[in-house]
Every structure is written in structure tokens, then in C-alpha cells.
Chains A and B, each alone.
Chain A
Amino acid sequence: MKPSPHIDFDRNAREALGNEFLQRALRSAMVRFRELQAPVIAEIPEWQALRAYAHEVKLHTLGRLDRYLQQLEQEVSARGGRVHWARDGGEAATIIARLARGRYVVKSKSMTSEEIHLNEALERAGCEVTEGDLGEYLIQLAGEAPSHIIAPVVHRSKESIAELLSAAAGTPLPAEPEVLTAAARRLLRQRFLRADVGITGVNFAVAETGTIVVVENEGNIRLTTSLPRIHIALMGIEKVIPRVADLAVFLTLLPRAATGQRMSSYVSFITGPRRPGEADGPEEFHLVIMDNGRARIQADAEMRESLACIRCGACLDVCPVFERTGGHAYESEYSGPIGAVITPLYRGLRAAGDLPFASSLCGACGEVCPVKIDLPRLLLELRARVVRERGASWSERIFVRAWTWVMTRPARLGFAARAARMLQRLVRRRLLPLPYPFSRWTVSRDLPVPPARAFRDGWSK
């Protein structure tokens, strides 16, 4: 996508709609996700109660973030880990680059590290960085951004993946998934064995015990956190939860909503570095706790619940807009409904363009979100802010103001209806052009033919 002063989602969407391969790939991947998720969600009779509980835990924690973060710091430190605080992405990247300087790094999949463009910072600090997650590794080889939280390469064909891996392996590989996966595994294994520093994200950080929890399916995080000498975990301040007991709920919700699995293949609980007498684990454990705009959202009562997101991707999978645009159209690491909500919060209403309006408000996202974030409500709030703070376009303002002016008096409505019928006749005889917004409607749809009489004309009888 070409850079522009603000995100032009409409233009990006048109481009995506014109890409036939992308349309087919997205549709089949999203349908597949939904088909996997539905049965494992349906088999939990208390699913709705669990969602509500998870929502409560998250909002409770978000209301007392400083307390829980302090507790987390104490517990991590007490177990020999080091905690670093970062006000923004730049600070976080600097801290991590300083710890890793000049070393060989493997990094596992982490949205937060995408958010702060960590790889670039590490490369500037003289590190060689390899993504340990297969999808992220391919994205790295292609020099692209991930296009889906869970399926970062959903926009690429197996042929193009074969090309990427052939170049990396220095030998031509056929476009067969098994061959390609095996080749990628061989390439990645060598790197895990060589790495001095492992960097991961954090799914949940438990304040009570100073434990960080990371879930995955490929085993690369297990390697990242056990082979290298130094483990650095990066988390946003919103990832803390109070108690170990709450994990039972989150670890039930997350894999089912994310990939339709009952349980992720690997769930790593990491509490401090290797202790005397232990056979493996890193010598140093660093936890970088980053704000990067989150505290501002936390203080914003109406938008706070957006921080409850556990990055499962389910709202993307059910979104009819995402299914047709893919992630790159959002020009942000965070795409789909949650991206449309948080990108304007992180980057500002002006930079986000029309993103909060890029939804038919069908509500599928809010219905599926495992932590019950009311995404349509958040979009509505943002729309009101855009109109209030940034202002809508002239044509829109005129249309909406005229509409509400007419609708505040039945007499005006009666008059306007007669006038509209007359004008419509002129339009049909091509004596007048169709005005906005009707002109945009008729690109692909006919307008209804107005009946001779409105319902209200018959009321008097």
C-alpha cells in the first residue's frame, strides 16, 4: 500500500476487491476458521458465562493497572527476573536492542513487537534476527507486514511461499506444503541452536506469581525461551491478569476462538530464569512492560474495554469487511474490527481516516469476541468523535442535517416527500443529476420506485 497522510481504507478496499487470488484465499481461510471454531465453542455450555467472566476480570484489572503491574514487577524480580519499563515503542525497542546488542536473536510471533517495529531496531543495533514462527518467518523473508493476527501469510499462495523458501534454502523447492514446512523447519532449527537471545511476546502475565504465559502451536516459543542464554519478553501494560486461577478461563477461551482448538499445542509458563539445579532455561530473564499509548486508552472510560483484547483474531474471521480486504488494507498491525477500533486510538482520528466507518455494524464481531468486547459500540463512539472533533465531509453534513431538519416536523416531512417525488421524476427524465448519497447507491443497485402515496397519507382515514 502506498503511504498517504491518512489511511485511505476505501481505496485499499477497492484494490483488494480487484485481486481475485486474495478474494479466494481470504474467503476460504475465513470460512475454514469459522468452521473450526463453531463446534468447539458450541461444546462449552457455559461459553457465554466464561466470556462475561473474562470480560469482568479484564475490566477489573484495567481499573487497577498500577497495582497489578507493581505486584507483577515485585514477583518477577523476586524470582530473579529483571523488569524494564518503557513509555513508548521507541523506548521499548531501545531497551531490547541494548540487551541484545550485536547478538544473534530468534524472535517468536508477537503483535506487540510488530507494533514497535522491533526487527528494524534490532538490525540497527547489529543483531541478526530470525522470526521463529513459520508464518512470521515467511513474512520476514518477503519483507512484508502480517495480514492476519493468526494467519500472517493468508494473502500469499503456496507458489509464492515456495519461491521465498527456495531463495532462503538456496535450492529450488516444489510448492507442496509438506516439503515447504519441512524445509522451513530445517532452516529455523539451525538458527535456534545458534541464538544467544530469544524474544517473545506475552499472552498473559500473572501478577500473583510473576509468571508469563505464552501460547503457540509450532513449538518455536518453547525453543526461544529455553535454548538461548537470554530471554526477553515484551508485553503491553494491558496483558497483566491478577491470578493464576483466571488462566483456566482465558486458556479455555483463547484457543477455541483463535484457531478452533480445544487447547494450543504448547502453553509455556515462564517464572523467572533458570534456577540452580534446573536443566534448562535461560540464564537471564527480562520482562519489558510497555505503555505506548495504552495508559491514555485506559484513562478513556468509553474506549477502555478495547484493551481487554487477547488478540485471538476471531473478530477478523467473522467480519464481512475483513474477509474482502484482508489485513494490509488497514495499514496497521491490527486489522479487522479490533484494528478499526484501536488504530484511531493509537494513531489519532485524523491519521486513521474513515476506518471507524468501514463497517456495516452487522455486529458479528461483538457476538464472537471471547472477552465480550462490544466492538460495534466502540465503532459508534469513534464515529461520534470523528464528527465532533474532525468533522465529516460537506456532502455528508448537508445530507444528515437536511434529513434531521425534515424529520423533526411531520409537516416538513410531508412537504419534503412531495418535493422528492417531483425531483425524482426530473431525475428519471435526466433533467437533473442524482444527488449524493443516492448517486453512490446507484453504482450497483437500483433505487426503489416511490409509491404514489406514503403510509402517512392514509392515516387520516
Chain B
Amino acid sequence: MRAALFVTCLVDQLFPAAGEATMTVLRRLGVSVDVPIAQTCCGQVAFNDGFWDEARPLARRHLDIFEHADAVVAPSGSCAAMVREFYPMLLRDEPALMERAQAVGHRTYELSQFLVDVLGADDAGARFPHRVAYHPACHGLRALGLREQPLRLLGKVRDLEVRRLGGAEECCGFGGMFAVKFESLSSAMLDSKIRAIEGSGADYVTATDASCLMHIGGGLSRRASPIRPIHLAEILAAQ
């Protein structure tokens, strides 16, 4: 099996360890991984904020770059959902592009989705001796329907204890520009999320998305909390 890594701009620039961990996990499970060098950003930031004209060239680039891959794997449910669910909407006035978007979308997966649904693997061969709370990131959860996959993978990690997170399916309040446009609402949502994480008794909080973890992590750090954010890929890569 061959797959192209869609590393996402956020992981590329701010959380490279999550990108490296994704490579490690995929390779360990026998996937040969390509990293198309020209990739940058899928355009979600602009698209979600209403700047569709600005997002379109980025979508076009993304399709050019990933069109020939058998499978595209991203350490992000949100960016995978952008390609799978939202490119067809963004590109609806250009039927040829939309068709290409649908084709690439069908082959684009979030990491846990790819591991469980495509490879049929729920054991990544990892060991992580810590207590972990899992936050289901919204786009993965609702746009991609990832309910079981991440938990099945976590369940197979040696010495890991999954702690129950109260109100797990409530949004952490990130939402791209929402976090700054409606800073007070976003912070209030983050506050509830952090209280739930603190109440879970976990040492780490994990998710499929670096964006939510950046938000949650920013709040934990501001409170000088000892709980650490960690990307799901990094747990699955740990041994």
C-alpha cells in the first residue's frame, strides 16, 4: 500500500512531531509514504471565513498535488473533511474541478480512519504508559463520522489508560477565526472543555487534530496546568 501524506499547514509549521509520528505509524503498518513537496495549505482557514475566492486557488493546487496518489492521509479530521466534504461545495461552479475534487475526496482520509477503515488495523503496536483523555474533534466526529476509530486504536495501546471525558462531544471552541472574532464565547467554551479535562484525571489530552490541541493546549498552558496536549499520532508512534 502506498499513501501520500497530507501533512497540513498547521502540523508542518507548528507541530512537526505529529507529522513525523504519522509517518512512523504508517510505515510501521507497512505503508510506503510519499510526501509531496509542493503541498502547503488546503484553504480551510479562508473558506470557513467566507473568503471562497481566496480559498479556490489553494484547493486547485491541492488537487494538482494529490491527484495521483492512491490514498491521501492527513493527521487532521478537519483538513480531511475540507477536501472530502467541502471542496465540492467550494468548486461547484467549475464542474471539471468539482469532479476532480470528488475523486480526490474519496481517497482522502484522516489518520485513524485510514488505519481502521482502510488498513483494517486497530493495533498500531504502540506503548504509552499514561492516563489519556480523548477529545473527539468536531469535524472528524460529525463531518467524517469518526466515533469508534480513534478509541479502538487507543484501546490497543499498551499500558495506556483511557479516562472518561465529560461532555466529550462538546466543541472546544476553536473554530478557526471564530476563536478570535468571538473571543469571549470561544474562551467560555474552552473553559468548559478544560474543566472536563481536569476532571477526567488524565495526564494527557489527545485528539485527531492539531488545531483543537493548539486551542486546548493554549488554555492549559495559560492556566499552568500539568496536563499535556498530544496528537493521537504521537501516542500511536510511541513505543
- Contact present for B7 and A455 (CB under 8 Å): yes
Closest approach, in angstroms, between the C-beta of A154 and any C-beta of chain B?
18
- Contact present for B57 and A459 (CB under 8 Å): no
**B156 lies within 8 A of chain A by Cβ:** no
Query: Which among A361, A401, A446 is the interface contact of B221 at CB below 8 angstroms?
Result: A446
- Contact present for B58 and A407 (CB under 8 Å): yes
Q: Which residue of B lies closest to A15 (CB)?
A: B184
When distances are taken between beta carbons in the complex, the residues of chain B under 8 Å from A182 are: none
Binds B, one of A72-80, A170-178, A330-338, A383-391: A383-391
Which A residues from 68 to 110 make CB contacts under 8 A with B?
none
Which A residues from 344 to 394 make CB contacts under 8 A with B?
354, 356-364, 366-367, 377, 380, 383-388, 392
Whole-angstrom CA separation of A445 from B217 in the bound complex: 8
Closest approach, in angstroms, between the C-beta of A53 and any C-beta of chain B?
20
**A444 lies within 8 A of chain B by Cβ:** yes
Which B residues from 76 to 110 make CB contacts under 8 A with A?
86, 89
- Contact present for B218 and A380 (CB under 8 Å): no
**A3 lies within 8 A of chain B by Cβ:** no
When distances are taken between beta carbons in the complex, the residues of chain B under 8 Å from A457 are: 16
When distances are taken between beta carbons in the complex, the residues of chain A under 8 Å from B39 are: 410
Q: If A446-B222, A456-B12 touch, does A440 touch B49 (CB 8 Å cutoff)?
A: no
**B157 lies within 8 A of chain A by Cβ:** no
- Contact present for B173 and A320 (CB under 8 Å): yes
Query: Which among A321, A356, A408, A458 is the interface contact of B58 at CB below 8 angstroms?
Result: A408
- Contact present for A450 and B13 (CB under 8 Å): yes
**A4 lies within 8 A of chain B by Cβ:** no
Q: If A445-B218, A459-B35 touch, does A387 touch B190 (CB 8 Å cutoff)?
A: no
- Contact present for B51 and A392 (CB under 8 Å): yes
- Looking at chain A's contact residues, the main secondary structure is helix
When distances are taken between beta carbons in the complex, the residues of chain A under 8 Å from B186 are: 360
Whole-angstrom CA separation of A317 from B209 in the bound complex: 26
**B43 lies within 8 A of chain A by Cβ:** yes
Query: Which among A10, A366, A383, A417 is the interface contact of B182 at CB below 8 angstroms?
Result: A10
Whole-angstrom CA separation of A66 from B180 in the bound complex: 44
What bracket does the count of chain B residues touching chain A fall in?
35 or more
- Contact present for A360 and B142 (CB under 8 Å): no
Closest approach, in angstroms, between the C-beta of B20 and any C-beta of chain A?
7
**B139 lies within 8 A of chain A by Cβ:** yes
Whole-angstrom CA separation of A321 from B192 in the bound complex: 12
When distances are taken between beta carbons in the complex, the residues of chain B under 8 Å from A396 are: 49, 177
Closest approach, in angstroms, between the C-beta of B140 and any C-beta of chain A?
10
Whole-angstrom CA separation of A388 from B141 in the bound complex: 30
What bracket does the count of chain A residues touching chain B fall in?
35 or more
Closest approach, in angstroms, between the C-beta of B84 and any C-beta of chain A?
14
**B11 lies within 8 A of chain A by Cβ:** yes
Q: If A361-B48, A380-B48 touch, does A404 touch B12 (CB 8 Å cutoff)?
A: no
- Contact present for A361 and B89 (CB under 8 Å): no
**A448 lies within 8 A of chain B by Cβ:** yes
- Contact present for A392 and B14 (CB under 8 Å): no
Closest approach, in angstroms, between the C-beta of A441 and any C-beta of chain B?
6
- Contact present for A404 and B46 (CB under 8 Å): yes
- Contact present for A444 and B183 (CB under 8 Å): yes
**B196 lies within 8 A of chain A by Cβ:** no
- Contact present for A448 and B49 (CB under 8 Å): no
Chain B positions 35 through 73: 1 when the CB is less than 8 Å from some CB of chain A, otherwise 0: 101111101011111111111011001000000000000
**A454 lies within 8 A of chain B by Cβ:** yes
Q: If A360-B138, A454-B13 touch, does A408 touch B40 (CB 8 Å cutoff)?
A: yes
When distances are taken between beta carbons in the complex, the residues of chain B under 8 Å from A320 are: 170-171, 173, 189
Q: Which residue of A lies closest to B38 (CB)?
A: A410
Q: If A410-B37, A443-B187, A459-B37 touch, does A357 touch B182 (CB 8 Å cutoff)?
A: yes
Chain B positions 175 through 205: 1 when the CB is less than 8 Å from some CB of chain A, otherwise 0: 1111111111111111000000000000000
- Contact present for A324 and B16 (CB under 8 Å): no
Whole-angstrom CA separation of A387 from B14 in the bound complex: 29
Q: Which residue of A lies closest to B39 (CB)?
A: A410
Q: Which residue of B lies closest to A382 (CB)?
A: B50
Q: If A13-B182, A408-B40, A446-B222 touch, does A360 touch B12 (CB 8 Å cutoff)?
A: no
Closest approach, in angstroms, between the C-beta of A221 and any C-beta of chain B?
35
Q: Which residue of B lies closest to A437 (CB)?
A: B180
**B125 lies within 8 A of chain A by Cβ:** no
When distances are taken between beta carbons in the complex, the residues of chain A under 8 Å from B9 are: 407, 413
Q: Given contacts A324-B185, A356-B50, A448-B14, list 20 more A-B pairs with CB under 8 A.
A: A357-B49, A357-B50, A360-B178, A361-B175, A363-B142, A366-B142, A384-B52, A387-B50, A401-B54, A404-B51, A408-B61, A409-B40, A437-B180, A440-B179, A441-B179, A441-B218, A445-B221, A453-B16, A455-B16, A455-B20
A-B CB contact pairs (8 Å), 11 listed:
A10-B185, A358-B185, A361-B175, A362-B142, A364-B170, A400-B49, A401-B54, A404-B54, A413-B40, A440-B183, A444-B219
Nearest 10 CB-CB pairs, A to B?
Answer: A360-B175, A445-B218, A383-B50, A362-B171, A363-B142, A387-B50, A455-B16, A440-B180, A444-B187, A437-B180
Q: Which residues of A contact B (CB under 8 A)?
A: 9-10, 13-14, 17, 320-321, 324-325, 354, 356-364, 366-367, 377, 380, 383-388, 392, 396, 400-401, 403-404, 406-410, 413, 417, 436-437, 440-441, 443-448, 450-451, 453-459
